[in-house]
Amino acid sequence: MKILLTGGAGYIGSHTAVALIEAGFEPVVLDNFANSHPVVLERLQRITGQTMALERGDVLDTHWVEDLLRRHRPVGVVHFAGDKAVGESVALPLKYFHNNIGGAVSLLRAMQTVHAEDPSTPPTLVFSSSATVYGDPASVPITEDFPRSHTNPYGHSKLVIEDMLSALCAANPAWRVGTLRYFNPVGAHPSGLIGEDPAGIPNNLMPYVTQVAVGQREHLNVYGNDYPTPDGTGVRDYIHVQDLAAGHVAALKTLLGGGESFTVNLGTGKGHSVLDVVHAFEKASGRPVPYQIAPRRPGDVAQCWADPALAQRLLGWQARHTLDEMCADAWRWQSGNPNGYRG
């Protein structure tokens, strides 16, 4: 059974491709390599022993997407493709509205057209949403019925796509849609062959910490130590990318088994502070991670972690990996590939 992965060469898509193969599916990767590298496909082949079909192109090209849906006839689609840098989205909002919202519209229209030609298979989609849709939550843990808001164009784009998907399902009950709100994905495949490969200076904590540990950056700036949290630094729900990948397999199996559309959090239900991550990483790598306390980063919330009970109930899924395992796998990837996929 084929599954189309838009953005399948990216960080989360590549790990999901491996999990899908292990679960007996046949992933087809669609990517324009705007934020990834074709060498990922070779790495995936080394991990799985299988060659994965690649469709190189842009999800914004609706007719091309229709054509590849006709050729491959996937039973489901996972839509990862999009831009994800919060800061860049503030500077370049139209880029985000065009690629993220425009990309989703293009994909959905293509799926709708191809479904109309052959209504025997229900259009089935899993969408990469984000905990960013909760804005600054009034309390933790966060359940799916918390109010949604946005503080930047990236978050706004996720919110609009969620609303589009609800409208589509309301208009046409044939659609089966699983919306996954990821918390903070970190870590890498235990082989050390695939992982997160940010371009330029990383915005996110874990890739920054790994680059400090490997000696590429002098020290970490810890953004604020005066938050109302146990050690004063920001608290997040870090989830191993392998657990996240397993969540996509569970979501697809639920939808393909005839399940209703759903929206669920994918998180561990545990919060860790910035300093918890620093210390766990030092332990995993055996390297010091020097840090300095810096002012709070504008737009950051004090704490954010999931109540993952709904995903457990609906999908039979729960996160299994510890913070120590996330750090050990992130370190294996970074130390084996100090320059990411670029050599």
Q: Which positions are catalytic?
A: 154
Could you tell me if 149 and 233 are in contact, meaning their C-beta atoms sit under 8 angstroms apart? no
Distance CA 67, CA 71 (A): 6
At position 282, the amino acid (one-letter code) is E
**Phi, psi for residue 262 in degrees, rounded to 5:** -150, 160
Sign of CA dihedral 256, 260, 264, 269: negative
Piece in contact with ligand NAD (CB under 6 A), picked from 57-65, 268-276, 306-314, 325-333: 57-65
Residues 6+ apart with CB under 8 A from 42: none
Give the x/- contact pattern for ligand UDP in 240-269, rule: CB under 6 A.
------------------------------
Task: Name which position in 8, 234, 271, 308 contacts ligand UDP (CB under 6 A).
Answer: 234
Task: Name which position in 27, 76, 82, 187 contacts ligand NAD (CB under 6 A).
Answer: 82
**Phi, psi for residue 81 in degrees, rounded to 5:** -60, 135
204 scored as a contact of ligand UDP (CB under 6 A) = yes
Task: Name which position in 32, 124, 233, 265 contacts ligand NAD (CB under 6 A).
Answer: 32
What are the Cα distances from residue 326, in Å, to 126, 131, 169?
24, 19, 36
242 scored as a contact of ligand NAD (CB under 6 A) = no
76 scored as a contact of ligand NAD (CB under 6 A) = no
Q: Which is nearer to ligand NAD, 80 or 331 (CB)?
A: 80
Which does residue 223 bind out of ligand NAD, ligand UDP, none, counting CB within 5 to 8 angstroms by kind? ligand UDP
Helices H, strands E: what count in the chain?
12, 14
Q: Which is nearer to ligand UDP, 64 or 291 (CB)?
A: 291
Q: Where does 176-240 have alpha helices with state H? A: 205-213
Least gap, CB of 221 to ligand UDP (angstroms):
5
Least gap, CB of 16 to ligand NAD (angstroms):
9
Q: Which is nearer to ligand UDP, 111 or 304 (CB)?
A: 304
Could you tell me if 272 and 218 are in contact, meaning their C-beta atoms sit under 8 angstroms apart? no
Report DSSP state, residue 278: H
SS3 66: helix
Piece in contact with ligand NAD (CB under 6 A), picked from 29-37, 166-174, 219-227, 318-326: 29-37
- Name the site residues for ligand UDP (rule: CB under 6 A): 184, 203-205, 208, 220-223, 234, 236, 274, 297, 300
